[in-house]
Amino acid sequence: MKLQRHSEHQRLIGIIGHKLAHTLSPVMHTTAFKKLNLDFTYGVMDVTPEMLPNLIASMRALNFRGANVTVPYKQDVIPLVDEVSEEAKVIGAVNTIVNNSGRLVGYNTDAHGVYISLAYYADSIKNNHVVIFGAGGAARATVYAVAKFFSPKRIMIVNRTLENAKKMAEEFGPKFKLTKFFFTNDPETTTRELEVAALIINTTSVGMKPLVNFHPLPTNAKVQKNQIVLDIVYNPIDTALLQLAAGAGAKVVSGVEMLLGQGAKAFELFTHHEFPMHAAREAVVKELTQDMHQ
């Protein structure tokens, strides 16, 4: 079959980050391009902080179609692009750059990833209680998406460093009138809030390979059957938190869904084609399963 060409010469896309050994974006996007016979090349652009402005400039010079952006540069690219979407501005992070005829536009598709992961449970989340662990970059996109798309009654941000949770609650609180924001680092308060939560989300790195035996819940805290649990950690797929939740009969949502959801939105911004979700999921799960046995 003949490959479809995108607008003239804009064939290059890649992921920008640093120490990127385990990124799944190349396999996810390459599989999707292949499935749709799209003529894009996807590369890994691992640069030091000093080289970041040069890299962004070279995206213009080489007429890149776009890029995904990951740690540690989701904030750093903001002043380097020409325009930032409203959503990315509120979240304070750009994870996707699209080159529109020389004009670089920054988006945040992580929020869409959270939305897609939880959309099936929208009715259970609306007007209910949510507990979110973490107050870093991933938490910002998550808190934004949960408040914006599902309007819970309250969001409790739980974080090791109380000050970071407080800052987030104070910043997002005034932006979402239907949701009240609270914060804590106290295990007892957290345990009480977990008892009444409809949705529990981990946005911290606790449970990520190699620390696979850990989860962020206080000792003795329990998950219940009627609760929804999302862990945005996807390596391993079956985190300690999701194992605990599944053991309690709760509804579990893997971080793989969030990874695919943010990738799907970025892919659609790059190509204007619908993301072949099934093929991409298969490729990503295969990669993660192989990684587990290494």
Question: Which residue, 73, 19, 17, 68, is CA-closest to 45?
Answer: 17
Q: In the complex with ligand ATR, which residue's Cβ is closer, 75 or 289?
A: 75
Cis peptide bond upstream of 236, omega within 30: yes
The interface mask with ligand ATR, positions 97-136, x = CB under 6 A, is -------------------------------------xxx
Alpha-carbon distances of 159 from 23, 118, 213, 233, 256, rounded to whole Å: 26, 22, 19, 16, 23
Residues 19, 34, 35, 74: which is the catalytic one?
A: 74
- Cα radius of gyration rounded to whole Å, the chain: 19
Q: Is 209 a catalytic residue?
A: no
Cα gap 173→139, rounded to integer Å: 14
As measured in angstroms, the least distance from the Cβ of 146 to ligand ATR is 15
Residue corresponding to tokens 């409203």: 86
Give the nearer residue to ligand ATR in terms of CB position, either 12 or 229. Answer: 229
* Other C-beta atoms lying within 10 Å of the C-beta of residue 29: 25
Q: Is 137 in the site for ligand ATR (CB under 6 A)?
A: yes
**C-alpha span between 149 and 199 (Å, rounded):** 14
Interface with ligand ATR, residue 159, by CB under 6 A: yes
Task: Provide the mask over 36-75, with x wherever binding to ligand ATR is found by CB under 6 A and - wherever it is not.
Answer: -----------------------------------x----
Write each residue from 173 to 212 as x if it is in contact with ligand ATR (CB under 6 A), else as -, in one continuous string: ------------------------------xxxx------
Give the residue numbers annotated as catalytic, written as ranges: 74
Which residues would be at the binding site for ligand ATR (CB under 6 A)? 71, 134-139, 159-161, 164, 203-206
